Amino acid sequence: MSEIKDKTKKMEVSRRDFIKTGALVTTAAVVGGCGISKEEFLQQHFKELTQEDVKNIKKRLETEYEKEFGKKFSVSFKEPIPQTLFGYGLDISRCIGCRRCVYACVDENNLSIDPQIHWIQVLEMEKSKGVNFHHANLHYDREKVPDDDHFYLPVACQQCENPPCVKACPVEATWKEKDGIVVVDYNWCIGCRNCMAACPYGARHFNWKKPSYIDPKTKKKSELNEDTHYLGNRPRPQGIVDKCTFCVQRTREGKYPACVEICPVGARKFGNLLDPDSEISYILKNKRVLILKEELNTQPKFFYFYAT
């Protein structure tokens, strides 16, 4: 008996040693070989970050971004505002399909210009066929909009209350915040793209390359937005998934999302679903509202409505 016990003890120790040295070697190799800092690598411990950790990460990212882009960045970690659940309204009877929102979003959220990532996809649909994705055209190219026979349906993340993408993530790198925004931790995402397969709205986008901010046609370099949030528009690394965050860096400061501010026809509405006096509550109470793919029980907080 005692022999067996000893043996197991010996085995345990040796296994532990093996793992320890193995981990050390891989750490050294990763840190040394891939050019990421020790702090960045060690951030991926499976534990909740302390205030101290957050401070250090903020500092690290801000210096990294300043070095890379040559200007000062601020990376906010602002928490959800209590008693807030964000909801979005889009007036289908108003939208003219001008795509101003698409590019305001690109600028605000530091989206990759090459390869191109658009968080908002404006679909052109035939009036005679109604909301029907089989007859939707993303690539419409017209001299003037709106076309008389078509209407327009911009689609971005629907910020589901029951988000299938979150369930699909094997490493819990994406989750729903208390204010209802579904976010991604770019430093935790392993780029497996399961969430993209799970999302029924095509709202998640993969950074196949490191985002470039130079237009491949005009060679014009676009200016980055330096007011960022850790879970939102901070510059992304290669090989991770990103998505609309209702402009978390703006909305947690009380501002409207960039797409709301740019819309020339005022078709986009935003507010707190828990506030009975908010614009979005008024819409839900008084207008004809629809959600996309209701049958999937994703429970979007993005409501399409007809104000007329």
Partner 1 sequence: MMKNYNKYTVILVSLIGFIFFVTSLNSSSETKEQKKTEPIKKKQKKAIEHIQVPPPPFSEDIFPCSECHEDMEVNKEKRILEDAHADLIGEEIVLKHDEENRWCLDCHDAKNRDKLHLADGRLVDFKESYRLCGQCHGPKLRDWKKGVHGKRTGSWNGQKKYLLCANCHNPHSPKFKKLKPMPAPVKLRSK
As a residue count, the chain comes to 308
Site string for partner 1, 143-162 (x = CB under 8 A): xxxx----------------
Q: Is 219 in the site for partner 1 (CB under 8 A)?
A: no
Q: Is 213 in the site for partner 1 (CB under 8 A)?
A: no
Q: How many CA atoms lie within 13 A of 255 on its CB side?
A: 13
Least Å distance, CB 7 to partner 1, is: 59
Least Å distance, CB 179 to partner 1, is: 12
Rg (CA), the chain: 23
Q: Is 163 in the site for partner 1 (CB under 8 A)?
A: no
Of 199 and 258, which CB lies nearer to partner 1 in the complex structure? 258
Degrees, nearest 5: CA angle 291-78-237: 80
- Report d(CA 165, CA 204) in Å as an integer: 9
Q: Is 44 in the site for partner 1 (CB under 8 A)?
A: no
Q: Which of 159, 155, 165 is nearest to 120 (CA)?
A: 155
Backbone angles phi, psi at 149, to 5 degrees: -100, 5
Of 187 and 212, which CB lies nearer to partner 1 in the complex structure? 212
Residue type, position 35, single letter: G
Contact window for partner 1 (CB under 8 A) among 37-45, 159-167, 175-183, 266-274: 266-274
Q: Is 205 in the site for partner 1 (CB under 8 A)?
A: no
Contact window for partner 1 (CB under 8 A) among 40-48, 53-61, 260-268, 293-301: 260-268
Consecutive H or E run containing 243: strand 241-243
Residue-wise DSSP of 96-122: ----HHHHHHHHHTT--TBTT--S-EE
Least Å distance, CB 244 to partner 1, is: 15
Site string for partner 1, 286-305 (x = CB under 8 A): xx------------------
Least Å distance, CB 266 to partner 1, is: 3
Across 229-268, b (16+ Cβ under 10 Å) vs e yields bbbbbbbbeebbbbbbbbbbbbbbeeebbbbbebbeeebb
Degrees, nearest 5: CA angle 16-17-20: 85
Q: Which two tokens stand for residue 187?
A: 């430093």
- Binding test (CB under 8 A) with partner 1, winner from 3, 48, 277, 295: 277
Q: Is 78 in the site for partner 1 (CB under 8 A)?
A: no
- Report d(CA 59, CA 195) in Å as an integer: 30
- Binding test (CB under 8 A) with partner 1, winner from 31, 36, 60, 140: 140
Give residue for tokens 């109604």. Answer: 130
Q: Is 116 in the site for partner 1 (CB under 8 A)?
A: yes
Please state, as a whole number, how many other Cβ atoms lie within 10 Å of the Cβ of residue 10. Answer: 10
Could you say which residues in the range 120-139 bind partner 1, by CB under 8 A?
121, 138-139
Q: Is 278 in the site for partner 1 (CB under 8 A)?
A: yes
Q: Which of 189, 145, 154 is nearest to 169 (CA)?
A: 189
Least Å distance, CB 103 to partner 1, is: 5
Of 57 and 267, which CB lies nearer to partner 1 in the complex structure? 267
Residues within the interface to partner 1 (CB under 8 A) = 81, 89, 91, 96-100, 102-103, 116, 118, 121, 138-146, 251, 254-256, 260-261, 263-266, 269-272, 275-279, 282-283, 286-287, 307
